[in-house]
A and B are shown apart, each in its own frame.
Chain A
Amino acid sequence: MISGTSVWRGGVVLIASLLAMPVIVILGFLLVPAGEVWHHLVSTVLPDYVKNSLLLMLGVSIGVLILGVGSAWLTSMCRFPGSRLFEWSLLLPMAMPAYIIAYTYTGLFDFAGPAQSLLREWTGWSYGDYWFPEIRSLEGAAVMLSLVLFPYVYLLSRAAFLGQSLCVLDVSRTLGNGPWRTFFTVALPLARPAIVAGLSLALMETLADYGTVQYFGVATFTTGIFRTWFGLDSTAAAAQLSAVLLLFVFVLVVLERSSRRSARYHHTSQRHQVLRRYPLAGWRGAGAALFCFGILFFGFLLPAGQLLIWAVTTADERLDAQFLSLVWHSLELAGIASLLALALALFLGYGRRLHGNWAVQLAVRIAGMGYAVPGTVIAVGVMIPFAAFDNGLDAWTRSQFGLSTGLLLSGTLAALLFAYLVRFLAVSLQTVEAGLAKIRPSMDEVSRSMGTGAAETVRRVHVPMLKGSLVTALLLVFVDVLKELPATLILRPFNFNTLAVRAYELASDERLADASLASLTIVAVGIVPVILLSRSIGRSRHEQAT
């Protein structure tokens, strides 16, 4: 007889294997002998890809560390005008996908944009008379990515600062260190693991970015993979480029994991005092407020405002049936993907809770690794086996029955949905597992000991306690899918457009204003997780106060 436990365990392992398939396929290409295209790439563009990707990572590192750690320290430790407001509003840039902020800034700061026009108007200069930073450059891309990715560092380092017992800071003060010295010798080293974890997340996003670097003409791995795939039409070379990119990602994953582990040991105390925030008055308070406002302004207010202006001016002509079908496609995709991800996350989460052995633990861990893999890589890794399957099946049915099945998987939404699951299941899984962890085993047992069976325990205890987490998991995946660009570009069925794809295409055609309505919709939806996050921040502050 097959027991429920073995069915469940088998299911968990099967799901994890399926989700791991794209990465395994890509890594498998490391063993395939390098073809002509690959040699061509190595001798021409590969050094550029490596150099540009590394430089971009360096630039983003500097940017997110200054913006993220600085603002986290100020909002968690100091009191200055608007500090409470900045606590949550500094998360708003997260709602802004990098490719959208990139083309918005291009519109703002290009030669013909309002900033330079205004400058010429005031000074009477004309073209060539003055120097203006070129926004469409590697440096520009680093700035754009920093502006929207710093919240990763902000969130994690802020939590670390708040988690530090005030005692360790007070001890430093009593030992004769001033506030600045205390920050650099105590607080910063203690928060380092959290900061590094946040930084590695930001860098994973940097490596995954396609829209920004493509738009700015910076040759990196992701743009290289696109070019090899579509331009050179070489599957093997694209997969091999992806594999090299995966090695970069792997380093970051290891860095993040080990940082998170050591972050646990850096918790200095279980008992926290309510933080006394250090009041900053006068010019120092103004400086802190200006710093935070500057980040908020350039990271969200300015680009969102520009998008709004464009959207208002173009709404009349853009808000048509075609736009509504874009919205519908996006909602449909995101809705299905988030429901599927939730169902899988529940299956995996309960599998681990009820039937966890080492295989299940490992499988769940693997299923949650997709967040680190760039969408481009996943798309290539999905496309190769799916196309092989379709071609094989088609050839077989043709020879057996004389009819063609066409593209069952690779040309349909199935491939796209599968890619979304690979990439975003982690988001859903994390939320569901956090919710399940709140239902302590003793809560199940209390219910059982009071005469309540297993099914009824789920209904009366689990469902009401999990409800919030389930909604959060749905929302987070929904928004992530809506924003996703590169995998959608590669895998979407012919002529199937989403908001992200359309915004990107219009922007690429230099129709920035026309792209704004779709972009603004994405940004508006992207604010939902920001609200969720800021609410949980508010809650943790409340818990600290009681």
Chain B
Amino acid sequence: MNKQLEVKNLTIAYDGKAVVADAGFELETGEIGCLLGPSGCGKTSLLRAIAGFEPAVSGEILLRGRCVTRPGTSLAPEYRNVGMVFQDFALYPHLTVSKNIGFGLRKLSRGESQRRVEELLRLVDMEDLGAKYPHQLSGGQQQRVALVRAMAPQPDILLLDEPFSGLDVELRSQLARELREILKRDQITAILVTHDQLEAFAMADQIGVMMEGRMLQWADGYSLYHRPANRFVADFIGRGAMLTGQVIDGPRIETALGILEANRTADLRPGETVELLLRPSDLVHDDNSPFQLEVLDRIFQGAEYLYTLRLNEETQVLCLVQSHHNHAIGERIGVKLDVGRLVTFRN
């Protein structure tokens, strides 16, 4: 496989203040990447640097092996062959849908350009809407036009800045599925920026979690959830609680919920205190368990209840229980550990 995009030790700064610090990752041809993080984490700046709108202070960006950004030089956006979809779609109000899509196709002959526009309109089921103006379209339709407009010149990489944020919740998941299908069918390499992890899981092959300008982990969704590289990733991705434990020997760790057999013991030293990441599914309901915990809160999620349980004064844990086990707040329920993959952090 070929490397479509390489970002190496990239630092971006505004007025001397780094907004992206030493970030790096790679995408192979046809892969969909995602930059995930809270607002202000630098993910949009990183995306804009790939597009060529932000210069680098250090590090470099390579598109299909060609260096496009390094300190002091930055290839202008119009020579990079990237496609970008903006949060506000940025459709041209003075042009029809067809003209918007054909905006970047002026190197093609009129006939070729027209064929390409028609093909793209068909791709998003909007064959009849080519003559309309953007303001006559719904939000979802505008988003599709913005997408195929960016795809039209067959860019080396497609950059999507919060592409679903302006849309209704129901529309989002539907469009995310559609978008992934389209990108995968045409083997288009793409990067999406979002703060919504479910969107990231639904769309991306590789996800980079960012915080305060740093790339904390670059991995697929499964690894982020089950093998978080550090506490922030563990906190940010999915739900969970931290449990203090003491390493007895080898694989065994003593916790307030009993002794735990760890399967990865490589770097645990006897006697040391560690923090364990406990996902709601790591705790199972068992009436016979010696650990009876008080229900502090519960959220009905259809098939399951998500219970918040009091372990001791300072610690609360989460437990996912099938919803026919209906316990009121204040009751005590029995739980036991059933940890598939143990994640520990040192203090």
Contacts and interface: CB of A to CB of B under 8 A. Distances in A.
Contacts of A464: 94-95
Contacts of A460: 103
Contacts of B77: 445, 448-449
Interface in B28-80: 51-53, 76-80
A449 B103 contact: no
Interface centre among A445, A446, A452 (most CB of B within 10 A): A446
Contacts of A442: 86-88, 90
Given A452-B78, A453-B78, A465 B94 contact: yes
A461 B86 contact: no
Interface in A459-518: 460-461, 464-465
A447 B80 contact: no
Contacts of A465: 92-94
B52 A449 contact: yes
A443 interface: yes
Contacts of B104: 450-452
B41 to A, nearest CB: 20
B92 A448 contact: no
A447 B150 CA distance: 10
B84 A446 contact: yes
Interface majority SS (helix, strand, loop, mixed), chain B: loop
Contacts of A438: 93
Contact of A443 (B76, B90, B153, B155): B90
Contacts of B78: 448-453
A449 B84 contact: yes
A445 B79 contact: no
A149 to B, nearest CB: 35
B146 to A, nearest CB: 8
Contacts of B52: 448-449
A440 interface: yes
B90 A446 contact: yes
Contacts of A452: 78, 103-104, 106
A449 B159 CA distance: 10
Contacts of B107: 451
Contacts of A446: 84, 86, 90, 103, 149-150
Contact of A449 (B83, B87, B88): B83
A460 B105 CA distance: 13
Interface in A73-109: none
A442 B76 CA distance: 15
A465 B150 CA distance: 20
A442 B87 CA distance: 9
Nearest to A450: B104
Contacts of A453: 76, 78
Interface string A140-172: 000000000000000000000000000000000
Contact of B150 (A440, A443, A450): A450
Given A445-B53, A460-B103, A465-B94, A450 B88 contact: no
A438 B134 CA distance: 14
B82 interface: yes
Interface string B146-158: 0001101101000
Given A450-B150, A451-B79, A440 B88 contact: yes
Interface residues of B, number: 30
A322 to B, nearest CB: 45
Contacts, number: 65
Nearest to B161: A442
B94 A450 contact: no
Contact of B83 (A440, A443, A450, A461): A450
A445 B94 contact: no
Interface string A40-57: 000000000000000000
Interface in A398-453: 438, 440, 442-443, 445-453
Nearest to A467: B94
Contacts of B95: 464
A438 B92 CA distance: 10
Interface in B159-193: 159
B19 to A, nearest CB: 17
A448 B77 CA distance: 6
A448 B81 CA distance: 10
Contacts of B149: 446, 450
Interface centre among A443, A451, A465 (most CB of B within 10 A): A451
Interface string A204-225: 0000000000000000000000
A449 B82 contact: yes
A272 to B, nearest CB: 17
A215 B35 CA distance: 71
B94 A440 contact: no
A194 B93 CA distance: 30
Nearest to A468: B94
Contacts of A447: 103
Nearest to B76: A448
Nearest to B105: A450
A461 B92 CA distance: 7
A455 to B, nearest CB: 11
Contacts of B81: 451
A449 B76 CA distance: 9
Contacts of A461: 92
A448 B79 CA distance: 9
A451 B78 CA distance: 4
A279 B107 CA distance: 58
A460 B159 CA distance: 23
Nearest to A466: B94
Interface centre among A449, A452, A460 (most CB of B within 10 A): A449
Contacts of A443: 90, 92
A452 B84 CA distance: 13
Contacts of B93: 438, 465
A438 B87 CA distance: 16
A460 B150 CA distance: 17
A30 B78 CA distance: 56
A258 B153 CA distance: 49
Interface centre among A448, A450, A460, A465 (most CB of B within 10 A): A450
Given A446-B84, A452-B104, 13 more contacts: A440-B90, A442-B90, A446-B90, A446-B103, A446-B150, A449-B51, A449-B82, A449-B155, A450-B149, A450-B153, A451-B107, A464-B94, A465-B94
17 contacts: A438-B93, A440-B90, A442-B90, A443-B90, A443-B92, A445-B51, A448-B77, A449-B80, A449-B150, A449-B159, A450-B83, A450-B150, A450-B153, A452-B103, A453-B76, A464-B95, A465-B94
3 tightest A-B CB contacts, nearest first: A450-B104, A442-B90, A442-B86
Interface of B: 51-53, 76-84, 86-88, 90, 92-95, 103-104, 106-107, 149-150, 152-153, 155, 159
